[in-house]
Structure 1
Amino acid sequence: MTDCSQNCGGRYSYGLAATLSIIAGKWKPLILYFLLDGPKRYGELKRNVHGVSAKVLIQQLKELEADRVLARTDYKEVPPRVDYALTPLGRSLADRIVPLCTWGTENMAEMVSILAERDRLL
């Protein structure tokens, strides 16, 4: 196992903190996951990421672009056509999200039960 507690230098004390600063946000991991199979237009991402508002999706896409994990391509056409794709850095990050997806799928029934109990308690 990688030692996430080692000092990464600079702004972060832990590698995990650096990673979380990039994927922080309710929708960013899903955005990265849905871009794994290739570039997507905004409308496609909006349909894939159920429940995200247009404002938040645009904000999170801009943040991911600023963090250099996705690239935005504007084709300068009428009507406008823009798509989003993972950069090599973004692909390496998104590839690490797949095992979390697998874990969630394998444990979904138990998680639903646990979260329902938590909601009752809180």
Structure 2
Amino acid sequence: MDMPAKPGVSANCRRMSSVLSLVGDKWTVMIVMVLVERPRRFNDIKRTIGGISQQMLTRTLKALDRDGMVSRTVHPTVPPQVEYALTELGYSLSEPLRSLGTWAGKHLELIDENRLRYDTAGNAQADVTARGARP
């Protein structure tokens, strides 16, 4: 017999899903790890990360600012300079991200081997199908 869901569980899952989709995004991870070192200006972040578009960097910084993980400080200069820094919440996110990075680095070689083995087996299966084995 299935137990009825607790009230609010699905609402909490949806809320948690939106947070996890942001913190699990590769650009979020890279931005947080770059800002752990020190506060930075927009172009410095873009240059340091490399490969991120201006639009994606803007979108991700806004999302991190909205969630309180990044602070945005506008300095009254001409032209105005904007600096981004991690908040206490952002620094707390950097801890599990570092652990995840350490795990990935430790297992990178094994994952590469597994991908190669899988891709090779997948290509062999595709060849069998292409030669006329019909489902």
Range with bigger deviation, 101-110 or 29-38: 101-110
CA RMSD of superposed structures (Å): 2.8
In structure 2, what is the Cα distance between the partners aligned to 1:37 and 1:76?
A: 24
Contact between 1:8 and 1:14, CA under 8 Å: does it hold in 2?
no
TM-aligned CA deviation for residue 9 of structure 1: 6.6
Q: More deviation in 73-82 or 54-63? A: 73-82
* Distance in 2 separating the partners of 1:92 and 1:109: 29
Secondary structure of the structure 2 residue equivalent to 1:82: strand
Q: Which amino acid aligns with 2:69?
A: V
Structure 1 residues 111, 50: closer, same or farther in 2, change over 3 A?
farther
Distance in 2 between the 1:8 and 1:34 partners? 36
> What is the CA distance between 1:73 and its match in structure 2?
0.6
| TM-score, normalised with respect to structure 1 | 0.77
1:97 to partner: Cα distance: 0.6
Deviations 1:28-51 (A, max 9, x none): 111111111121111111122221
> Whole-Å Cα distance in 2 between the matches of residues 17 and 44 of structure 1?
30
Distance 1:12 1:92 in 2: 21
| Distance change in 2, residues 1:22/1:78 (3 Å) | same
| Mapping of residues 1-122 of structure 1, within 5 Å | 11-13=11-13, 17=17, 19-116=19-116, 121=122
Question: Structure 1 or 2: larger helix share?
Answer: 2
Q: Give the TM-score normalised by structure 2.
A: 0.70
- The 3-state SS of whatever aligns with 2:72 is strand
3-state secondary structure, aligned to 2:13: coil
Alignment size in residue pairs: 116
- Larger mean CA deviation between 35-44 and 111-120 belongs to 111-120
Distance 1:17 1:37 in 2: 28
Unaligned segments of structure 2, at least 5 residues:
1-6, 124-135
Greater Rg over alpha carbons, structure: 2
Percent identity for Structure 1 against Structure 2: 30
